[in-house]
Amino acid sequence: MGDEHIVEQSRSDVAILVVSCDIYRDLWYPFFYCFFKYWPDCPYPIYLGSNFTRYLDSRVQPILIGPDVDYTSNLIAMINHINQQWIILWIEDRVLSAPVDTARVANLIRLVQNQQGGHLKLIANHPFALVADPTQEIGEIPKGTRYRVCMTVVLWRKEVLLKILRPGETAWQFERQGSKRSNDLDEKFFCLTWWTKRNPPISHQHLIIRGRLSLDTRRFLKQEGLLDGLRKRPLQTMASYWSLKARIAVADLSVQLKSWFLSAVSGKG
């Protein structure tokens, strides 16, 4: 009863916006196939932002903005079509890879709403919040943190997002400059803690890295029977693959040691 109440409360004021454009329409079928396979009871309306092309599924509501302007101008136009006050921005190359616990996600959303937050990153990658308690799933991202703002799978209070967005930026510029602009706001920004990494609320695969199909995701797509539609995309190089693995391993080790230290010092480990 309690979990159902939480989900029902959050249903009316949260929407999911899959941010895309027509040139990435080859990703839509793998994205939505995995989305509805792994989150069949998603309680939130789902919008797909694109230029002129619709995805033919009654569960997906199109937002067609016309010709490309630039990434952030396109995003502002998409957001202005959504009435809900909270939006989960979801980039089309982040595909679900495991079942989603709806009540768990709804509870995290409610936690941020109750704390007057403006942002919650919902996938388990950097930055992680440093907290001592291994049972704590989210924590605040301090001002000044690199990539305090990101474009992956992120819950936003719509008014906060619109304060940070500026027309004329790429996604990467928005992450860098938007992170700096977020330091001037009073709203708190949250992300997952290191302790959630092994069991995140949303498990995903990153399809495209620097315009190329990720080697890790290629294996996943093959298992799901989804690879054929993406064979025209070039594969990630081995140099890129191992360079990324090394950077993530170093960053993981750093935050893991800091989290263990905080836990040990507090006596909660």
- Domain residue spans of the chain: 2-266
pLDDT of residue 268: 67
| Alpha-helical segments (H) within the chain | 2-11, 28-38, 71-79, 102-114, 158-164, 171-182, 215-224, 238-266
| CA-to-CA separations, 156 to 15, 69, 178, 215, in angstroms, rounded | 10, 23, 13, 30
Checking if the pLDDT of 51 tops 90, the result is yes
Question: What pLDDT shows up at residue 10?
Answer: 52
Of 3.90.550, 3.40.50, 3.30.310, 3.30.1150, which CATH number belongs to 2-266? 3.90.550
Q: Which of 26, 57, 38, 66 is nearest to 207 (CA)?
A: 26
Q: Say how many C-beta atoms besides its own lie within 10 A of residue 73's C-beta.
A: 16
Q: Is 1's pLDDT higher than 50?
A: no
Average pLDDT over residues 191-205: 93
Provide, rounded to the nearest whole percent, the portion of the chain with pLDDT above 90. Answer: 74
Give the distance from CA 142 to its chain's centroid.
19
pLDDT confidence bin for 261, thresholds 50/70/90: confident
Instruction: Please name the residue that has the structure tokens 């006050």.
Output: 85
CA distance 70 to 56: 25
Per-residue model confidence (pLDDT) at position 4: 55
231 CB-near residues (< 8 Å, 6+ apart): none
pLDDT band at 183 (very low <50, low <70, confident <90, very high): very high
Residue 189 has pLDDT above 80, yes or no: yes
pLDDT mean over 66-73: 96
DSSP 141: P
Point out which residues pair with 95 in neighbouring strands: 205
Does residue 34 surpass a pLDDT of 80? Answer: yes
pLDDT at 236 exceeding the cut of 80: yes
Rounded Cα–Cα distance for residues 118 and 145 (Å): 15
Q: What six digits make up the tokens of 170? A: 């790429």
Share of the chain above pLDDT 70, in %: 95
| N-terminal to C-terminal alpha carbon distance within the chain | 32
Q: Of 74, 82, 52, 259, give the one whose Cα is nearest residue 166.
A: 74
